[in-house]
Structure 1
Amino acid sequence: MTIAIDPVDLAARLIACPSITPREGGAVTVLANALEPLGFTCHRFLSGDAPDGPVENMVATRGSGGPHFAFAGHVDVVPPGPGWTSDPFAPEVRGGILYGRGAVDMKGGIAAFVAAAAQVREHPGTLSLLITGDEEGPAIHGTRAIMDWMAERGIRPEMILIGEPTSEARLGDVVKIGRRGSVNMDIVIPGVQGHVAYPHRADNPITKLGRVLTALDALHLDDGTDAFQPSNLEVTDVETANPAGNVIPGEARARLNIRFNNLHRGDDLVDLVRRTVEQEAPGSRVDARVSGEAFLTPPGRLYDIVTEAIRAETGIEPKLSTSGGTSDGRFLIALCPVVDFGLPNATMHKLDEAAAVDDLHALTRIYARVIGAALGG
């Protein structure tokens, strides 16, 4: 029996699940209920503890043996915030547009892939979906836990497509073939609190922090590569928590993020910042967390399959890019070649997030072509 799935309807049912990281909100159940009639076996498991967990993950598989093609995605969403035209978790179609938190990032992409899997029922090898609820959060208990789960069972895909919203002006114009790495750092500059009228009895940490930020701004990380734009360091916060105008604070803090290309490793950049801070403000502290290393998928069969599917369905020659933020490809690249491709991303993380109904159907057709080509069905 052939089962047809409407990607718009499935996306709407997923949007209706308030799955703000790390809550699942019923989204994994909605997916499992859609996948099991299509012949998938759904393995669900929890990982992690509060406050960053527990996170519900799912590995859904159909078929056996090789080749093994996998789709990776996340059902968690960022908080909607106030100011929406309609309830962000009550999906609505208005004027051919589906509105709701997660429509683009990335419940719409997941729905399109499930609908595509319903179209391509017969195929050799293994088709799987790797679904997490921890991509928008710390990403500790999500895809990395899925990789551990698969490793324990000897499961290893040969190619992975991540359904992140990569398109820009129109569906199909951008495919992400790599991503920059990301490292966050907190700088703590100690001082001695005192009265502003008696500066000799105090030690102003703001002055030292100013020297630190000037030195960090002067760092030249690189000029970019053929595949990546130049790495960039951005200061994202400066504070002293000082409520009084006549007090020299006892401590100053700054926060920064570096998005870096594959000329660097995260730990090396942490060392560079620590040396710079220590030179300008001895005795300071730098706390760092590398959330992902830069990666690049070399040209190969996965490139060809995805670009040909886009070209055949839309007539567009997609741009291969490494711009933008991170994705769980930073972890999955350890398994096999990975690319990201999905819906237009103009409204992701914004008020009134939305996906065009026509794009959801077109993306389903593209994904169906990809499945067929990847598995030889």
Structure 2
Amino acid sequence: MAHLNRRSFLTLAAGVPLAVAGLPAAVAHAAPARGRITGLLAREPDQLLDPPDDRLHGFVQPLTWAEAQPTAGGPISPAAVAKLEVAVDLARDRGYPKIKLRLLAGHQSPAWALALGGGPIADWLEPENGKKFVVPRWWCPQFLDAYAAFLTALAPHLTAPEWCEATVAGTTTIFAEPLIHQLGVADNRSKALEAGYTDVRDRDALYKAIADQHAAFSPFGISSSVAYNPWQMINDKERLEVRMEETITAMNYQRTLAGNAGIWANNSLMVRQLPDGTLEQARPDYQRLYDHMIAGAADGHPIQFQTATLAKITDAGGTPLATATWAANVGGLSVELPLNWEREGSITPAQATSLNTRMATNATRT
């Protein structure tokens, strides 16, 4: 693998067996019948370009629980069904073979669901933009059971062969990342603890969400992906504690449960090119996560990435091209590009064709 940062590939370059690197034994699951979404992707249909840009190989369709199931235990709304149908028509019109569904819960859950398990938590602060949200008690069984029932109701509406993957969102708060709960904010921690949060309940909730989604979607040939990060938890001193070991254990749980129908994802990637041509991912605190993903990909497990925002990539000295190339080098199946990636100008048509081809090849190994 050319141009890999040595620190990004320690477990394999050193010849360490995969089991020693912390991977569970390979699980004998056939690749999902629907196949994979691969290549360079737009994060949502609104980010597709007109006229169509041949550098893209697909897009991700967002769908909030609130819009999809506005009544408690009710059917999937006509508006949501229409949105799914429009996405399929758009993919066929553009010649995109597959679509990824980004399910959104957390603050985008319906009001009736937010009321479950003791009621919602108000004024939940997102520290980067200062906005406040109403979020669920994401660890409560009543809330999680309602979300599982929603998945069961939704799955029959995903029969078009383009739908091949959906994100796990049952335990999210603000972003589509179930291990990021804004617990670095002291007031958020206080609110969570007062509402009954414990790290054990948090852990059990994610495992249940992974299992429930696999049970609902895998019979339809649809994979489930989890956006992994260093796991934010609250320690016994009521302070933030980031536990990478919990992240790795959750990844291994998903792989053991779902095999290759359980995709490991990360939505934070940014990569720069060093003067000697080496590609270096720019988040040292994510290194162990990325090492585990790289080891999994080498063992035939599917991995994928979403980049950080364009501003964060450029502030770190990186580019969308370097980021997507690193992902392809380490076995990634797809990369969701940031908003305005095309204006930055680093990905040429020839480079995009090469990246799309390489990521499709990576997918054949999963």
TM-score by length of 2: 0.29
Larger Rg, first or second structure (1 or 2): 1
Higher relative contact order (CA 8 A, sep 6+): 1
Quick check: which one's helix share is greater? Answer: 2
TM-score by length of 1: 0.29
Quick check: which one's strand share is greater? Answer: 1
